[in-house]
């Protein structure tokens, strides 16, 4: 049976910083090692931009000539279908993991050469059990032979454990952090949860960065992302540093005579 094809709704114009940030992120992934092919992307909380980062990174890799499979594994509150296509009723990952359809029946070919996608499917009552099933690992093992990269968009790890469960069978993990809105200690705890899964943390992406503050230039004042792909375990530390610094700056200054 031929793979079904869907038309993605794409944002054609990205600002300079967004475009360059995704180029940098793609390059860092390419230099992560030839054995790093399955990469899970998660965040601390909802609305940090993990789905956008996952989608645009997959798109960027495909447009550079790589064959990429994006797996929407947020089985709790996915926005992938509603955001990126007008097609509804697509068989998805939840149906594959529950044995209703095969993985090949759920893979959709897009108008971008080399970019295939598996949507989440209907929300199941037991998402953690499904993503922790042997079938999920079997899918990754099978498809890594057919694709250069498999990017997995997972539910926020600061809210549910799903991402850590899936990370245990992935080659690498990337943590998306919203600049200034995530507490440093919270980012640390999520990072540690990823580490407990045994998955290699490739790096962190700091999202919603105000580049005016970083460069001091009004001309380049845009909001975008900054990637930190350090490979030394300090990724979330460095990405969370702006939030920690912001918290310190907001702390009241003690005056002479104040109680200690």
Q: Say what the pLDDT of residue 105 is.
A: 95
pLDDT at 14 over 90: no
Asked if the structure places residue 93 within a domain, the reply is yes
Pick the closest to residue 118 from 158, 176, 78 (CA basis): 78
Half-sphere exposure for 147 (CA within 13 Å, toward CB): 28
DSSP state of 1: -
Residues 153 and 84: their CA atoms lie apart, in Å, by 14
* Residue 52 counted as domain residue: yes
On whether residue 140 sits in a domain, the answer given is yes
Give me the mean pLDDT over the 147-159 stretch.
97
The pLDDT-based confidence of 180 (bands split at 50, 70, 90) is confident
Report phi then psi at 252, rounded to 5.
-65, 140
Between CA 174 and CA 179 the distance in angstroms is 15
Give the max Cα distance, the chain: 79
Pairing relationship of beta strands 149-153 and 107-109 according to DSSP bridges: unpaired
Would the pLDDT of 259 be above 70?
Answer: no
- DSSP states of 88-111: -S---HHHHHTTSS-HHHHEEE-S
Kindly report the CATH number assigned to the domain that includes residue 235.
Answer: 3.40.50.300
Q: What is the mean pLDDT of residues 150-166?
A: 97
In angstroms and rounded to an integer, the radius of gyration of the C-alpha atoms of the chain is: 19
If one counts the domains in the chain, the total is 1
Rounded CA-CA distance 22/28 in Å is 10
* Pairing of β 172-178 and β 4-5: unpaired
Structure letter (DSSP) for residue 252: P
Q: Is residue 35 assigned to a domain? A: yes
DSSP letters of 190-202? Answer: HHHHHHHTT-EEE
Is the residue at 256 inside a domain?
A: no
Q: What is the pTM of this model?
A: 0.84
- In a domain, residue 119? The reply is yes
Q: Quick one: tokens of 27?
A: 């390059």
Is residue 44 within 8 A of residue 187, CB to CB? The reply is yes
Query: Is 255 part of a structural domain of the chain?
Result: no
Distance in angstroms (rounded) separating the CA atoms of residues 62 and 148: 9
Res 40 pLDDT > 90: yes
Residue found under tokens 């809105």: 181
Do residues 42 and 154 lie in contact, with contact meaning Cβ atoms separated by under 8 Å? yes
DSSP secondary structure code for residue 180 in this structure: T
- Residue 77's beta-bridge partner residues? none
Task: Say what the alpha-carbon torsion angle 27, 228, 204, 23 is, to the nearest 10 degrees.
Answer: -30
Q: What is the mean pLDDT of residues 176-192?
A: 91
The answer as to whether 253 is a domain residue is: no
Of the chain, the percentage scoring pLDDT greater than 70 comes to: 78
Q: Tokens 């970083």 label which residue?
A: 214
**Backbone phi, then psi, for 127, in 5-degree steps?**
-60, -40
Q: Domain limits at 40?
A: 4-247
In the structure, what pLDDT confidence band is assigned to residue 232 with cuts at 50, 70 and 90? very low
């Amino acid at each position: 049976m031929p793979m079904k094809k869907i038309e993605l709704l794409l944002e054609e114009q990205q600002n300079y910083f967004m475009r360059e940030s995704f180029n940098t992120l793609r390059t860092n992934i390419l230099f992560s090692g030839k054995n790093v092919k399955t990469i899970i992307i998660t965040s601390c909380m909802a609305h940090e931009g993990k789905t956008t980062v996952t989608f645009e990174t997959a798109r960027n890799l495909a447009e550079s000539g790589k064959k990429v499979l994006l797996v929407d594994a947020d089985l709790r509150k996915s926005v992938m279908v509603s955001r990126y296509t007008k097609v509804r009723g697509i068989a998805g990952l939840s149906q594959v993991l529950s044995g209703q359809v095969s993985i090949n029946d759920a893979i959709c070919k897009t108008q971008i050469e080399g970019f295939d996608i598996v949507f989440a499917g209907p929300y199941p009552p037991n998402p953690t059990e499904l993503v922790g099933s042997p079938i999920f690992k079997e899918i990754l093992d099978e498809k890594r032979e057919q694709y250069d990269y498999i990017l997995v968009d997972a539910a926020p790890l600061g809210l549910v454990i799903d991402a850590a469960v899936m990370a245990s069978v992935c080659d690498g993990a990337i943590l998306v952090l919203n600049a200034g809105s995530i507490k440093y200690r919270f980012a640390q705890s999520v990072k540690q949860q990823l580490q407990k899964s045994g998955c290699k943390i490739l790096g962190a992406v700091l999202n919603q960065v105000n580049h005016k503050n970083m460069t001091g230039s009004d001309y380049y004042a845009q909001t975008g992302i900054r990637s930190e792909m350090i490979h030394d375990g300090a990724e979330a530390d460095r990405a969370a540093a702006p939030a920690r610094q912001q918290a310190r700056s907001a702390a009241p200054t003690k005056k002479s005579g104040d109680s200690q």
